[in-house]
Amino acid sequence: MANDPAERIVDQALARTADQLAAAHSQHPDNPRRCAAGCHSAWPCMSHRFAERARHAARGDWRDAWTARHDLASAGIPVAG
């Protein structure tokens, strides 16, 4: 729904990066306490939490998106242009 304010994406690149990150770092189907990407941390792993936050930020205030981009970059995760 294009007119749904909840789906208003202010940062397309950030939203795309978040979706890719969330897709890679999903919950392991056989072990709910693990990440399917093979992270060595307990679920939800840091990458997944970054993805969730970036997803939210990409649909919110542009200042949130800016902060989320900065945090992703700090974690070594490039935001696709």
Q: Which is nearer to Zn ion, 26 or 67 (CB)?
A: 26
Count of residues touching Zn ion (by CB under 5 A): 6
Determine the interface stretch with Zn ion among 9-17, 19-27, 49-57, 61-69 (rule: CB under 5 A). Answer: 19-27
Which residue type sits at 63? R
d(CA 60, CA 30) in angstroms, rounded, equals 34
- Positions in 25-64 near Zn ion (CB under 5 A): 25, 35, 37, 39, 45, 47
- Length of the chain equals 81
Nearer to Zn ion, 10 or 39 (CB): 39
Check residue 22 for interaction with Zn ion (CB under 5 A).
no
Which residues, in sequence order, are bridge partners of residue 27?
35
Q: Residue 3, by phi and psi: left (phi above 0), alpha (psi -120 to 50) or beta?
A: alpha
* Residue 58 one-letter amino acid: A
Q: Write out the residues near Zn ion by the rule CB under 5 A.
A: 25, 35, 37, 39, 45, 47
